[in-house]
Amino acid sequence: MVDKNQQVIDKTLDQEYKYGFSTDIEETKFEPGLNEDVIKKLSKIKKEPQWLLDWRLKAFDNWKNMSEPTWAKIKYEPIDYQALSYYAAPKQIKNDSLDDVDPEIIETYNKLGISLNEQKRMQGVAVDAVFDSVSIATTFKKELSKHGIIFCSFSEAVQDHPELVKKYLGSVIPATDNYFAALNSAVFSDGSFVYIPKGVKCPMELSTYFRINATNTGQFERTLIVADEGSHVSYLEGCTAPMRDENQLHAACVELVAHKDSTIKYSTIQNWYSGDKEGKGGIYNFVTKRGICLGDNSKISWTQVETGSAVTWKYPSVIMQGDNSVGEFYSVAVTKNKQQADTGTKMIHIGKNTKSTIITKGISAGEGQNTYRGGVKILKNAENAQNFSQCDSILIGDKCGAHTFPYIDVNNPSAKMEHEATTSSIGEDQLFYCNQRGIKLDDAVSMIVNGFCKEVFEELPMEFAVEAKQLIEVTLENSVG
């Protein structure tokens, strides 16, 4: 049985990555290398105000004196930051009409299942499509603007809403926060910007779809979402990249600001190319995501389904500053082949009666290494703070690993903390049971894994819960025998 398992595991690892094609289009691309001139050039293309260029340069100055973090349980070839290009954009620049977008790019998104044509779009989902370093199109902008909602590319926001960008940019993740955040602050090229005005409940799901296409480039996008008092928004990001032999760097920053009585729900389905069976190629995913519950009774909820990338380094966090504010983190992380994921969250309780929930599901197959790293910090004045953490891991095969590093720091005796962790294997007895009922092995595995992930999938918006389930099924096809 064990030998047979191994055979089928090996078979899985040969699975083709469905989104691995590349698009052949003319792109404007910077020569590899990073220095002040590159940043100035980038800022100039973007017609940025002086304050933003200064902010970038300051971040760059800091970055030069910082060193890459080494505490994560991941191993990778050193990144040569001078060998990367920091800007790549299709020659045809974005315009108001889709007619002006290169048909090749529209076709690329169609192939990815993302239609940029509003009529054909999944109902109730607006999308901002980011291709390499620039935003290509944003759908439903007019419809959203009727509600006073701003949903546009970051570059447009800088032009059209500089006061909002200036107020909130770096307010949650300072430019000097960490090595990758500093790099992003210096060179970020585009991303999405969302502002939900007071009392508005966003009538549709907002989403950004990131696609890395160009070779030897880094993608450094920046997302900023501000929910004003009493507002509500649900946002989703998806990501894919072509199969390339060299590793590509993706270092993004996402900042969320939730004012009094507002709610931000942020979901990610991350399916970057993860490299081949030998671990060659794949995306290095170093991402800083953080939200602040600024006002009382506000809520930020992160849900992530991470199946891609060669290396993932990511800890979406919530700072609960307002009283009664709520932070949530739901995560499914799958590693197979030689993928490595070091992911988790940080929950920082500052306000009174703040409450956080962490539910993570790690799935390791092949030679994948899956690490949960989470920090819960209760500050001195956070009366009656509560945290519940549950970290479960499942192992498929005998060459993979699951690791859990919870850090808890409590400075107020009224805090209530609960932590649960389990590690299990998909049992032969569970598979036998399913098979005996006539259910095929592949279906049994996906059924068991989906059951294991249920609590997290339930947090995803309906349309994407189905997508996530299918993604897990495809990812784990033939992983047990």
Partner 1 sequence: MIKIENLKASIDDKDILKGINLDIPAGEVHVIMGRNGSGKSTLANVIAGNETYEVDGGNITMEDTDITEMSIENRALEGIFLCFQYPVAIPGVSMAYFLRSALNAHRKYQGKEEMDALEFLNKAKAILSELGLDDSFLKRSINDGFSGGEKKKSEILQLLTIDPKLAVLDETDSGLDVDALRTVAKGVNKFKNENNSVLIITHYQRLLDYIKPDVVHLMIDGQIVKTGDMSLVEKVEKDGYSWLEK
In which residue are the tokens 């990338």 written?
309
Q: Which of residues 454-473 bind partner 1 (CB under 8 A)?
A: 454-455
Is position 437 an interface residue for partner 1 (rule: CB under 8 A)?
Answer: yes
Is position 432 an interface residue for partner 1 (rule: CB under 8 A)?
Answer: yes
Q: Which of 381, 433, 466, 470 binds partner 1 (CB under 8 A)?
A: 433
**Residue 40: closest CA among 6, 73, 86, 105:** 86
Phi, psi of 116 (to 5 degrees): -90, -5
Is position 451 an interface residue for partner 1 (rule: CB under 8 A)?
Answer: yes
Rounded to whole angstroms, the Cα distance separating 135 from 155 reads 8
Q: Which of 277, 447, 474, 478 binds partner 1 (CB under 8 A)?
A: 447
By CB under 8 A, which span of 156-164, 293-301, 346-354, 443-451 interacts with partner 1?
A: 443-451
Helix axes 36-45 and 179-187, enclosed angle (nearest 10): 50
The residue (of 118 and 442) whose beta carbon lies closer to partner 1 is 442
Rounded to whole angstroms, the Cα distance separating 188 from 42 reads 9
By CB under 8 A, which span of 13-21, 203-211, 311-319, 426-434 interacts with partner 1?
A: 426-434
**Least CB distance from residue 359 to partner 1, whole Å?**
12
By CB under 8 A, which span of 168-176, 301-309, 431-439, 466-474 interacts with partner 1?
A: 431-439
Amino acid at 236: L
By CB under 8 A, which span of 49-57, 70-78, 409-417, 432-440 interacts with partner 1?
A: 432-440
**Least CB distance from residue 75 to partner 1, whole Å?**
32
Rounded to whole angstroms, the Cα distance separating 59 from 186 reads 5
Structure tokens belonging to residue 142: 């007019």
Rounded to whole angstroms, the Cα distance separating 234 from 264 reads 6
> Are 277 and 266 a contacting pair, CB within 8 Å?
no
The residue (of 203 and 451) whose beta carbon lies closer to partner 1 is 451
Rounded to whole angstroms, the Cα distance separating 112 from 242 reads 11
By CB under 8 A, which span of 12-20, 130-138, 170-178, 438-446 interacts with partner 1?
A: 438-446
Is position 159 an interface residue for partner 1 (rule: CB under 8 A)?
Answer: no
The residue (of 5 and 139) whose beta carbon lies closer to partner 1 is 5
The residue (of 78 and 438) whose beta carbon lies closer to partner 1 is 438
The residue (of 283 and 453) whose beta carbon lies closer to partner 1 is 453
Q: Residues 289, 226, 455, 366: is their CA dihedral positive or negative?
A: negative
By CB under 8 A, which span of 163-171, 196-204, 224-232, 451-459 interacts with partner 1?
A: 451-459
**Residue 209: closest CA among 300, 112, 302, 303:** 112
By CB under 8 A, which span of 36-44, 110-118, 264-272, 433-441 interacts with partner 1?
A: 433-441
The residue (of 172 and 480) whose beta carbon lies closer to partner 1 is 480
Is position 44 an interface residue for partner 1 (rule: CB under 8 A)?
Answer: no
Q: Which of 453, 460, 471, 472 binds partner 1 (CB under 8 A)?
A: 453
DSSP H or E stretch at residue 45: helix 36-45
Is position 300 an interface residue for partner 1 (rule: CB under 8 A)?
Answer: no
Is position 66 an interface residue for partner 1 (rule: CB under 8 A)?
Answer: no
List, in sequence order, every residue forming a beta bridge with 319; answer none if it has no partner.
292, 348
Is position 452 an interface residue for partner 1 (rule: CB under 8 A)?
Answer: yes
Helix axes 428-436 and 441-457, enclosed angle (nearest 10): 110
Total residues binding partner 1 (CB under 8 A): 24
**Least CB distance from residue 469 to partner 1, whole Å?**
11
Q: Which of 443, 463, 473, 477 binds partner 1 (CB under 8 A)?
A: 443
Q: What is the DSSP letter of 366?
A: T
Q: How far apart are the first and last CA of the chain?
A: 7
User: How many CA atoms within 13 Å lie on the side-chain side of 29?
Assistant: 18
Q: Which of 28, 423, 450, 478 binds partner 1 (CB under 8 A)?
A: 450
**Least CB distance from residue 93 to partner 1, whole Å?**
47
**Checking DSSP bridges between strand 192-196 and strand 150-153, what pairing results, if any?**
antiparallel
From the number of C-beta atoms within 10 Å of its C-beta (0-12, 13-18, 19+), residue 368 rates as buried
**Least CB distance from residue 432 to partner 1, whole Å?**
6
Rounded to whole angstroms, the Cα distance separating 457 from 305 reads 8
- Length of the chain (residues): 481
Q: Residue numbers of the site for partner 1 (CB under 8 A)?
A: 1, 427-430, 432-441, 443, 447-448, 450-455
